[in-house]
Amino acid sequence: MSKGVTRRGELSFPVLPGCHALVLERLLEDARLAGLRACDPGDLQLVVEEVLTNVVKYSGAAGMDLPARVWWSVSAVELELGFEDPGMPFDPLAVDESSLDDDERCEGGMGILLVRALADTIRYSREHDRNCLALSFRAD
């Protein structure tokens, strides 16, 4: 496929350690084929790893029979990226960085803040007993 086209993808998978690897493989390939300029591939990798690692470690969804889902739409100038998981309700937008103490910052509280800083827009909702996190990245 030539550069400059929009690529779409979706994966459903069990919530298990390392589940981000297949997502990254497919997403980074689609980003490359689309000629994505909206974000650095390293930043994209960091975002996917951070979100899915948090789902595995903290959502209570690890080992459930209900899968997580990641979807994307990527072109040269824009990436829309969504995460859904069956874990306990958690709104990352409700985390107030000024409320994090030094221990929380060291234990990973900064990851959510990093994701928020890298994305141009971020939305959270709870739909059908699933956490839904949508991120967008746009080229300047």
Judged against a pLDDT cut of 70, whether residue 2 lies above it is answered with: no
What is the pLDDT at residue 5? 87
The 10s digit of each residue's pLDDT in 67-126 is 999 999 999 999 999 999 999 999 988 877 665 555 544 444 568 888 999 999 999 999
The residue that leads in pLDDT, 32 or 96, is 32
Q: Is the pLDDT of residue 1 over 70?
A: no
Strands 68-74 and 78-85 come out as: antiparallel
- Measure CA of the first residue to CA of the last residue in the chain; give whole Å: 24
For residue 105, what are its two tokens? 């910052």
Q: How far apart (Å, rounded) are the C-alpha atoms in residues 20 and 56?
A: 10
Mean pLDDT of the chain: 89
Residues 79 and 73: their CA atoms lie apart, in Å, by 6
Task: Kindly report the three-state secondary structure assignment for every residue of 42-68.
Answer: HHHHHHHHHHHHHHHHHCCCCCCCCCE
In the block, tokens 């967008």 appear at 136
Q: How confident is the model at residue 64 (pLDDT cuts 50, 70, 90)?
A: confident
pLDDT at 101: 55
Q: Does domain 8-131 have CATH number 3.40.50.1240?
A: no
> Region 9-25: what's the mean pLDDT?
96
- Asked if 14 contacts 41 with a C-beta cutoff of 8 angstroms, the reply is no
